[in-house]
Amino acid sequence: YSHDQIPDLTGKVAIVTGANTGLGYATTVALAAHGARVFLACRSKQRAEDAIERAKTEIKDTYPNAPAPQLEFLELDLNDMNKSHQAAKAFLEKGLPLHILINNSGIMMCPFALSADGIETQFAVNHMGHFVFTMGLLNRIKESQPSRIVNLSSAGHEMAPANLGGIDFDTLNDSTKTNASTRYGRSKLANILFTKALARRLANERVYVNAAHPGYVSTELIRHTGDEFGSVMGVVTEKVTRLVAMSPKVGALTELYVATSPEIENNDIRGRYFIPIANEIQPSAFAKDEELQEKLWTFSENLMNE
Q: Packing angle between helix 22-33 and helix 253-260, nearest 10 degrees? A: 40
Residue 297: its pLDDT value, please?
98
Angle at 302 between CA 298 and CA 306, to 5 degrees: 175
What's the pLDDT at 221? 61
Residue 170, pLDDT > 80, answer yes
pLDDT range class, residue 306, cuts 50, 70, 90: very high
Q: What gap in Å lies between CA 119 and CA 90, rounded to an integer? A: 24
Distance between CA 285 and CA 97 in Å, rounded? 36
Find the angle CA(258)-CA(79)-CA(23) to the nearest 5 degrees.
35
CB proximity list for 198: less than 8 A, separation 6 or greater:
134, 149, 209
pLDDT of amino acid 283: 74
> Under 8 Å CB-to-CB from 2, ≥6 apart: which residues?
253
Identify the band that residue 238 occupies on the pLDDT scale cut at 50, 70 and 90. low
The answer to whether 184 is a known catalytic residue is: yes
Which pLDDT value is given to residue 155?
Answer: 86
% residues pLDDT > 90 (the chain): 84
Over residues 137-144, the mean pLDDT reads 98
pLDDT number for residue 235: 53
Q: What share of the chain is helix, strand, coil (3-state, %, to 5)?
A: 50, 15, 35
Measure the CA dihedral 216/219/220/223, to 10°: 30
How far is residue 51 CA from its own chain's centroid?
Answer: 18
Residue pair 236/222 in contact (Cβ under 8 Å)? The answer is no
Domains of the chain: 3-305 (3.40.50.720)
- Residue 18 reports pLDDT greater than 70: yes
Residue 217 pLDDT > 80? no
Lowest mean pLDDT among 161-165, 166-170, 244-248: 244-248
User: What pLDDT was estimated at residue 48?
Assistant: 98
Q: Is 40 left (phi over 0), alpha (psi -120 to 50) or beta?
A: beta
- At residue 229 the predicted structure's pLDDT band, cuts being 50, 70 and 90, is low
| DSSP codes joined into one string, 213-246 | ---SB-SGGGGGHHHHH-HHHHHHHHHHHHHHSB
Q: Report the mean per-residue pLDDT for the chain.
A: 92
Sheet holding 37-42, edge to edge: 70-75, 37-42, 13-17, 100-103, 147-152, 207-212, 273-274
C-alpha span between 211 and 259 (Å, rounded): 10
Kindly tell me if the per-residue pLDDT of 218 is higher than 70.
no
Catalytic residue, candidates 25, 184, 257, 273: 184
Residues 85-97 have pLDDT tens digits of 999 999 999 999 9
Q: How does pLDDT run across 263-290, given as a tens digit for each residue?
A: 999 999 999 999 886 545 567 899 999 9
Percentage of the chain surpassing pLDDT 70? 89
Tell me the pLDDT tens digit for each residue of 42-87: 999 999 999 999 999 999 999 999 999 999 999 999 999 999 999 9
Please state, in angstroms and rounded to a whole number, the distance separating the CA atoms of residues 123 and 178.
12
Contacts of 137 (CB under 8 A, 6+ apart): 15, 88, 91, 92, 98, 101
